[in-house]
Amino acid sequence: MDQNPKKVVVLYWTKYGSTRRYAQWIADRTHADLFDVSTFDKSLLAEYAVVLFGSPVFLGRLRYIRFVKRNWGILSTKRVIIFGVSGIPPDDPRQEKMFQTSLPDEIRSKVTCFPLRGAFHYGELSLLDKMLMSGPRIRLQIEVWTKRNQEARERMARFFSLLDWTSEAAIEPIVATIDRISENGGPALGTHETHSSW
């Protein structure tokens, strides 16, 4: 795609880094500007025709979607692409529900959403996040005690190891969408794209 650094901007919020990694890959490929949304000067939004926004999914919702909601006045005049980075695969049926729950219908019908798979490392979580994860952890522990088999023990071990599903190849459909927007306006608004081949 043509180099046009003022036209496309990638904004992101991250807690553990995987959303930043995807944002960086997308910005590099599309020659877009890249900003951490928590330090972004919102008056700069006026400069861009295409705005990408990336957020991790925590507890079934896009964690920092309030940026899009609060700035919908100006964002509604642009092409907006939202990517949600989560621990489940992009083709998991829960993805669609996650975008529905996170976004009011009015916004959902005018943005294009992409799910991406991030990373999870229990040992790196903040104390609060470890507490929030105590449900799945206790369920796994009970399984180990009750089933007493190798499979349950392996599942438990996986939960505590570094799980990194981030993949640069997964950004291809997003890059293709940005290219299509630059060429002919892009896909219909309100699209939820899942790519089981990711």
Ligand X SMILES: Cc1cc2nc3c(=O)[nH]c(=O)nc-3n(C[C@H](O)[C@H](O)[C@H](O)COP(=O)(O)O)c2cc1C
Binding of residue 24 to ligand X (CB under 6 A): no
Rounded to a whole number of angstroms, the minimum distance from the CB of residue 184 to ligand X is 32
Q: Is 91 in the site for ligand X (CB under 6 A)?
A: no
Q: Which of 19, 102, 112, 182 binds ligand X (CB under 6 A)?
A: 19
Q: 66: buried, middle or exposed (CB in 10 Å: 19+, 13-18, 0-12)?
A: exposed
Single residue of 50, 51, 86, 198 touching ligand X by CB under 6 A = 86
By CB under 6 A, residue 90 contacts ligand X: no
Size of the residue set binding ligand X (CB under 6 A): 22
Q: Does 17 bind ligand X (CB under 6 A)?
A: yes
Contacts within 8 Å (CB) and 24+ apart, 21-26: 21/166, 22/54, 22/83, 22/85, 22/116, 22/118, 22/166, 22/170, 22/171, 23/52, 23/54, 25/168, 25/171, 26/52, 26/54, 26/83, 26/171, 26/174, 26/175, 26/178
Sites for ligand X among residues 95-154 (CB under 6 A): 118-120, 125, 129, 132-133
Does residue 170 interact with ligand X by CB under 6 A? no
**Interaction site with ligand X (CB under 6 A):** 14-19, 56-60, 85-88, 118-120, 125, 129, 132-133
